[in-house]
Copies of this chain bind each other. A is one copy, B any other.
Amino acid sequence: MILRIDRLQTELPPPSTPDPAGAGVVQELLGGKFGEMSTFMNYTFQSFNFRARQEARPFYDLVANIAAEEFAHIELVSTAINTMLTGAGEKGALPDPDDVQNPQQFIAGGAATLVQDSNGKPWNGDYVTSTGDLVEDLTHNFFLETGARNNKLKVYEMVEHPAARALTGYLLCRGGVHQVAYARAVEKLTGADLTKMFPSPRIPTAKIPECQPHIQRGEHLKLYRFSPKDYQEIAALWNGPHPETGEDLVVEAGPPEGALFNDLPAQPAVFAPDYEPEEIAEIAKRLRQQAGLPDEPTGEINLPQDGIVGKIADKVTPG
């Protein structure tokens, strides 16, 4: 079972100039073979399928716990894509077909993320490798994280939108943690020292400006325990020095504090949402009242500041 927390794992910038072509490319980090759907689902199903797990607790706990963090990553990638698409779904601002990488982001979605890769192909379940062979699954996971790091670095280079850069900066840092974690798990199980390949690709995370704030907070050293009380034995694997920096690896009990979502504004040209937001708000208010809840919405969120969205539309509408 899971519990869900209504916060992002890290802060993402609010919408600015829309970038539908870039948003099409970022889909690779969501639904590509090496995207976050793949990491999330591989570790999730490996944990479900883990046999004789009690005696193998450190390994089971590691896989199960990293799976939990990956949920936060599909959430981050989706939010970044949605941020990049904001403003491209407003009346009069729909992009020309020529300028769109993935038309279904507008037609199937409401200026929103799809469960697809950067070529518009859906993620599929055969991207999951879950053999039950612990040596093979851990080696696979190390390889998957290496491929994911490679893909993030390329998307970083290819897409300059601030939301994409904030996203890849953070994910490179956290993905690096998982890469180290699986390398150490393989080493402790078999003796094979995969850390000799680091950094792979051979660009130290620390060289990427958008990674710096996270490194300075030590995000590259922490394995969060994403559970109220389970998965304690990750500490049996996540310890000792970081293979690149020599700093001590640390297990954090509980998730990071994270950040509030930006409440991305409605995109009326693509009916996101439909009915009109005001109409829904009124219905919602009435429902709250009938249920004895407060008059005002109860969740915490960053509301869009006046004028931002208007400004976006200005930019993209020819004068």
Contact = CB atoms under 8 A, between A and B. Distances in A.
A207 to B, nearest CB: 13
Interface stretch (A93-101, A170-178, A214-222, A310-318): A93-101
Interface string A235-270: 111010000000000000011101001011111011
B226 A263 contact: no
Contact of A99 (B98, B202, B231): B98
A39 interface: no
Nearest to A272: B132
Contacts of A263: 51-54
Given A2-B4, A139-B146, A107 B52 contact: no
A98 B44 CA distance: 29
A267 B201 CA distance: 13
Most buried by B among A112, A120, A264, A274: A274
Interface string A286-303: 011011110001110101
A210 interface: no
A31 interface: yes
B1 A78 contact: no
Nearest to A183: B192
A46 B30 CA distance: 15
Contacts of A208: none
A2 B72 contact: yes
B272 A75 contact: no
A299 B202 contact: no
Interface string A26-51: 00100111100100010011001111
